[in-house]
Amino acid sequence: MKETNKLGRLDKLSRKVLIDTSKMLKDAKTELFDGIHGRVLEVGAGIGVNVYFLNRPEVEHWVAVEPDRKLVEECHKMVAEMEDRVTVFQGYLHELEEPPESFDYVVFTTLLCSVPDPHKIVAEAHRMLKPGGKLCIIEHIGDKFGFRSAFQMLFKYPWKFATGCNCRNKPIPALSQPGFWEGIDGEINFKPAPLRVKRFSPLLELTKPFVMTELTKKS
């Protein structure tokens, strides 16, 4: 019984982190998803919080990929209003039975911090994009110095155990694989993601700073 309660608390914490992070990133997502259209693939859709940004007439179909069964169950409820314009796929990206180059957009929102092989995920996403298609990314990254950096290093493993997230995330190497993106010669550049933060939170300090970018697949 004790183990069941412990797992329940961890599930509740993970869900709270997902919802609070999406609220905090509302302005960033509004900016990044402006103009999104056509067929959209989201990798690591979680409980489906991006429905508030992807439920728009310009989005022809949204494929939401999520491997976690509990999150998929909630995702189905969250996106139900989109009816046949959304498909929730329980599984991993490499298991998705979609032809290569079949999506106009691929979306990563705080994904690469929690996958075992970021290089593979980025390569698979690139393969699924049409030439000229766009990869929209919001990630948090490990801070470089100061109190927050020390705080992240101290709590890196407890945080990963509780949420599956690496608070010292380093997504640039995986995203900078050569030959993938138009106008990129070397490492990609992020810009700061605007945040809606009402008060200081130790949980937030573990995952700041947040950054964002849009990459275009070479034609």
Residue 46 contacts by C-beta under 8 Å, 6 or more apart in sequence?
Answer: 18, 66, 68, 71, 75
Please, what sign has the CA dihedral across residues 159, 123, 35, 46? negative
User: What domains can you pick out in the chain, each with its CATH number?
Assistant: 2-216 (3.40.50.150)
Spell out the per-residue pLDDT of the chain, length 219, in tens.
233 333 344 566 666 666 777 788 999 999 999 999 999 999 999 999 999 999 999 999 999 999 999 889 999 999 999 999 999 999 999 999 999 999 999 999 999 999 999 999 999 999 999 999 999 999 999 998 888 999 999 999 998 888 888 999 999 999 999 999 999 999 999 999 999 987 777 878 888 899 999 999 999
For residues 188 and 215, what is the distance between their CA atoms, to the nearest angstrom? 9
Quote the tokens at residue 92.
Answer: 């991993």
CB 126 within 8 A of CB 217: yes
Residue whose C-alpha is closest to residue 148's, from 212, 192, 204: 204
For residues 216 and 78, what is the distance between their CA atoms, to the nearest angstrom? 29
